[in-house]
């Protein structure tokens, strides 16, 4: 089964983690080596962190407006501006096989969603194996450093690997007047206690939610 690529489009929220940008750069080099255009675009809403800071709120697991405004809508606007309003598109969505329940049809007529990993029954372990064979290391999920889908271990890793970004995430959460609207199951400032701790203890569950935005 073949999936021809005419162009790769990366919607940069400007709030991704540093290792995500490293991976994006490597993908860009691979694409360009094969003569496939690799385009980086940004949302009309600007920097995702500044957007929520100004609005005095945080991204929501329920609304998912961050995904729509800074990724889906940004890509659609770019494609329509470049190719016109009569062109149709096939989007490849990288949902792995064990998450096939997340597959959804496009809500616009000019775009069709296709799920290559599901079609080929490649699960997350299979994805990791392919990436390792292709020379990638430090393989993890991508997402903004203040993503509400982050697990407890993710916040601990952020605190220890990128403490300056963790402090920005804390500042964003504390900037929100509604203290019931947070980025985790408890206030982020409490994660400062995990500084220097690399793993959760057995009595601390990782998190009760899953999901997120993936590279």
Can you give the pLDDT at residue 62?
83
Can you give the pLDDT at residue 198?
72
| Distance (Å, whole) CA 112 – CA 4 | 14
pLDDT of residue 212 exceeding 70, the answer is: no
pTM for the predicted model, two decimal places: 0.87
CB 146 within 8 A of CB 15: yes
pLDDT (tens digit per residue) in 92-109:
999 999 999 999 999 999
Point out which residues pair with 34 in neighbouring strands: none
H helix runs in the chain, sequence order: 18-33, 48-55, 65-67, 73-83, 116-119, 124-133, 152-161, 163-174
Question: How large is the average pLDDT for residues 161-183?
Answer: 93
pLDDT (tens digit per residue) in 45-63:
999 999 999 999 999 888 8
Can you give the pLDDT at residue 202?
47
Mean pLDDT, the chain, rounded, equals 89
pLDDT classification of 213: cutoffs 50, 70, 90: low
Can you give the pLDDT at residue 199?
67
pLDDT classification of 203: cutoffs 50, 70, 90: very low
Question: How large is the average pLDDT for residues 117-128?
Answer: 95
CB 89 within 8 A of CB 111: yes
pLDDT (tens digit per residue) in 25-39:
999 999 999 999 999
pLDDT (tens digit per residue) in 72-85:
999 999 999 999 99
CB 52 within 8 A of CB 58: yes
Share of the chain above pLDDT 70, in %: 92
CB 212 within 8 A of CB 140: no
User: Which residues neighbour 15 within 8 Å (Cβ) at sequence distance 6 or greater?
Assistant: 47, 48, 49, 144, 145, 146
């Amino acid at each position: 089964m073949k999936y021809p690529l005419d162009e790769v489009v990366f919607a940069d929220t400007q709030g991704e983690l540093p290792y995500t940008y490293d991976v994006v750069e490597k993908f860009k080099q691979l694409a360009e080596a094969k003569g496939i255009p690799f385009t980086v675009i940004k949302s009309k809403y600007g920097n995702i962190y500044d957007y929520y800071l100004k609005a005095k709120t945080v991204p929501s697991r329920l609304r998912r407006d961050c995904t729509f405004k800074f990724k889906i809508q940004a890509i659609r606007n770019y494609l329509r501006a470049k190719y016109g309003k009569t062109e149709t598109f096939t989007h490849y969505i990288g949902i792995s096989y064990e998450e096939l329940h997340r597959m959804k049809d496009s809500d616009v007529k000019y775009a069709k969603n296709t799920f290559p990993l599901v079609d080929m029954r490649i699960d997350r372990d299979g994805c990791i194996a392919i990436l390792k064979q292709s020379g990638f290391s430090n393989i993890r999920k991508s997402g903004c450093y203040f993503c509400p889908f982050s697990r407890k271990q993710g916040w601990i890793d952020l605190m220890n690997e990128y403490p300056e970004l963790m402090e920005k995430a804390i500042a964003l959460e504390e900037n929100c007047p509604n203290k019931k609207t947070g980025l985790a199951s408890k206030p982020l400032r409490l994660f400062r206690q995990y500084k220097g701790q690399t793993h959760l203890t057995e009595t601390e569950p990782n998190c009760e939610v899953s999901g997120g935005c993936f590279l």
